[in-house]
C-alpha cells in the first residue's frame, strides 16, 4: 500500500479518484443499457395487460353499493 508521503512524491495522489470515477461511469453506462432494454419489454408487457383487462371492465360494471 502506498503511503501518503510516497504517493505525494510520485504524483499518484489523484489516481484512486480517477479509478473510482471510471468504475462509476462504467456501472452507469451498463445500468442505462439494461434499463433501456428492460424498459421496452416492461412497457410492452404492461400494454398487453391493459389491453387484456380493458374489455373486461367495459362490458359490465359492478352494481353500485347502496
Check residue 19 and give its pLDDT.
93
Going from N- to C-terminal start, the domains of the chain cover 4-56
Q: What are phi and psi of 3, to 5 degrees?
A: -80, 165
Check residue 40 and give its pLDDT.
83
With a threshold of 0.85, does the pTM exceed it? no
Residues of the chain below pLDDT 50:
none
Amino acid at each position: 500500500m502506498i503511503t501518503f508521503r510516497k504517493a505525494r512524491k510520485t504524483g499518484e495522489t489523484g489516481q484512486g479518484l480517477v479509478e473510482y470515477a471510471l468504475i462509476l461511469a462504467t456501472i452507469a453506462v451498463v445500468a442505462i443499457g439494461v434499463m433501456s432494454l428492460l424498459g421496452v419489454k416492461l412497457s410492452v408487457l404492461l400494454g398487453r395487460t391493459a389491453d387484456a383487462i380493458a374489455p373486461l371492465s367495459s362490458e359490465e360494471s359492478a352494481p353500485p353499493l347502496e
